[in-house]
């Protein structure tokens, strides 16, 4: 395979694979908690970090991670305390983060609009060997949390009040989810871009739940879908000159549509066991013919 002979494509494919695994792995908890758009908000905030990295001539990836983590913690605090207009506070944070990033980028010497584009929409072929180390470390952290603590995170995201009463450290686990999501956003930033990160956290999960009945199967299927679309999307962007992020997200949506189309026949197949298939509704008339199983009424 010619594609594998280039070091930059090897890095791109490995980065894509890692993002394909980690984004749905944390995304499933956000979807379970009905906060599917939280990743999107973190992406907006992370842009301020990228701008700060350029302005201070430090690593944009680490700066984005730091600012995204801080932003996710603030979002979690707003969720705890700001019960009245929490959505408005979040909106401020999202758009403030976006505007801050664009502003800081413009103030710095190195930042140009082309540079901004690579962070907003991803530029997978420019992933450097240094970026790879960062990606490995952060991805290992994300996987350790999302798989190692799956039962605790499941309980918290399924029913927060119940989880508190079972004595789980709910605030800590919620913070952990927020921070993990922030880390995932910055890992995925180079591959799909900050504006499309959330898509990779949410769409594979949405597709997987069309055909699954359990959390475990949804988790595995979503990760499978994530890996499939990031690898094919990256490969496609090599052969055809198209942006990787947009290709990956469009592939994911195509899979979602396919899985949705599969859902109805699959449900029918599951429900339609041979015994139940022929049975319709029967009306029992009092005093009429006795029921077949000879139960006295």
Partner 1 sequence: MKDTDRPGVDRAAPEDRPVIELRGATASLGGRPVLRGVDLTVRPGEVVALLGANGSGKSTAVRSVIGQVPLTGGELALFGTPFRRFRQWARIGYVPQRTTAAGGVPATVREVVTAGRLARTKLGILRKADRAAVHRALELVGMADRLKDSVNALSGGQHQRVLIARALAGEPDLLIMDEPMAGVDLASQEVLAAALREQVGRGATVLLVLHELGPLEPLIDRAVVLRDGCVVHDGPPPEAVGQHALPGHDHVHPHADAAAEPLRTGLLS
Q: Which residue, 13 or 157, is less far from partner 1 as judged by CB?
A: 157
Residue 266 interacts with partner 1 (CB under 8 A): yes or no: no
Cβ–Cβ under 8 Å, residues 50 and 64? yes
Min CB(287)–partner 1 separation in Å: 19
Query: Could you tell me which of 130, 124, 141 has the C-alpha nearest to residue 235?
Result: 124
Which member of 57, 128, 133, 158 binds partner 1 (CB under 8 A)?
Answer: 158
Residue 62 interacts with partner 1 (CB under 8 A): yes or no: no
Min CB(84)–partner 1 separation in Å: 10
Query: Could you tell me which of 203, 174, 172, 200 has the C-alpha nearest to residue 187?
Result: 200
Residue 212 interacts with partner 1 (CB under 8 A): yes or no: yes
Q: Which residue, 157 or 249, is less far from partner 1 as judged by CB?
A: 157
28-47 mask for partner 1 (x: CB under 8 A)? x--xxxx-x-----------
Distances (CA, A) of 34 to 28, 67, 158, 202, 257: 10, 24, 10, 11, 21
Residue 198 interacts with partner 1 (CB under 8 A): yes or no: no
Using CB under 8 A as the binding rule, the residues of this chain from 87 to 146 that contact partner 1 are: none
Instruction: Say how far apart CA 120 and CA 170 lie, in whole Å.
Output: 33
Which member of 65, 209, 234, 237 binds partner 1 (CB under 8 A)?
Answer: 209
Residue 297 interacts with partner 1 (CB under 8 A): yes or no: no
Min CB(61)–partner 1 separation in Å: 30
Q: Which residue has the tokens 């009092």?
A: 286
Min CB(112)–partner 1 separation in Å: 40
Q: Which residue, 34 or 289, is less far from partner 1 as judged by CB?
A: 34
Cβ-in-10-Å burial (0-12, 13-18, 19+) of 164 comes to: middle
Q: Which residue, 24 or 60, is less far from partner 1 as judged by CB?
A: 24
Residue 79 interacts with partner 1 (CB under 8 A): yes or no: no
Cβ–Cβ under 8 Å, residues 115 and 105? yes
Q: What is the 3-state secondary structure (H, E, C) of 42-100?
A: HHHHHHHHHHHHHHCCCCHHHHHHHHHHHHHHHHHHHHHHCCCCHHHHHHHHHHHHHHH
Instruction: Say how far apart CA 180 and CA 156 lie, in whole Å.
Output: 15
The residue ranges that bind partner 1 (CB under 8 A) are 28, 31-34, 36, 149-152, 154-155, 157-159, 161-168, 205, 209, 212-216, 218
């Amino acid at each position: 395979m010619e594609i594998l002979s280039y070091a930059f494509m090897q890095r791109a494919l490995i980065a894509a694979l890692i993002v394909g695994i980690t984004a749905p792995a944390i995304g499933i908890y956000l979807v379970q908690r009905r906060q599917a758009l939280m990743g999107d908000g973190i992406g907006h905030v992370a842009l301020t970090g990228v701008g700060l990295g350029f302005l201070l001539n430090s690593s944009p990836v680490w700066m984005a991670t730091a600012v995204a983590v801080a932003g996710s913690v603030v979002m979690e605090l707003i969720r705890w305390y700001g019960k009245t207009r929490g959505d408005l506070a979040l909106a401020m944070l999202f758009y403030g983060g976006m505007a801050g990033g664009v502003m800081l980028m413009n103030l710095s010497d190195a930042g140009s609009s082309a540079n901004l584009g690579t962070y907003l929409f991803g530029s997978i072929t420019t992933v450097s060997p240094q970026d790879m180390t960062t990606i490995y470390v952060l991805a290992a952290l994300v996987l350790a949390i999302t798989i190692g603590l799956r039962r605790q995170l499941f309980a918290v995201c399924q029913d927060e009040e119940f989880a508190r009463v079972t004595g789980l450290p709910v605030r800590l686990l919620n913070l952990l989810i927020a921070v993990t999501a922030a880390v995932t956003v910055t890992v995925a930033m180079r591959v799909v871009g900050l504006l499309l990160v959330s898509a990779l956290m949410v769409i594979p999960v949405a597709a997987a739940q069309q055909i699954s009945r359990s959390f475990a199967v949804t988790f595995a299927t979503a990760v499978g879908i994530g890996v499939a679309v990031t690898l094919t999307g990256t490969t496609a962007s090599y052969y055809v000159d198209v942006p990787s992020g947009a290709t990956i997200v469009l592939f994911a949506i195509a899979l979602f549509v396919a899985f949705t189309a599969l859902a109805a026949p699959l449900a029918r197949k599951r429900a339609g066991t041979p015994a139940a298939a022929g049975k319709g509704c029967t009306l029992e008339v009092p005093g009429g013919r006795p029921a077949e199983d000879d139960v006295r009424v």
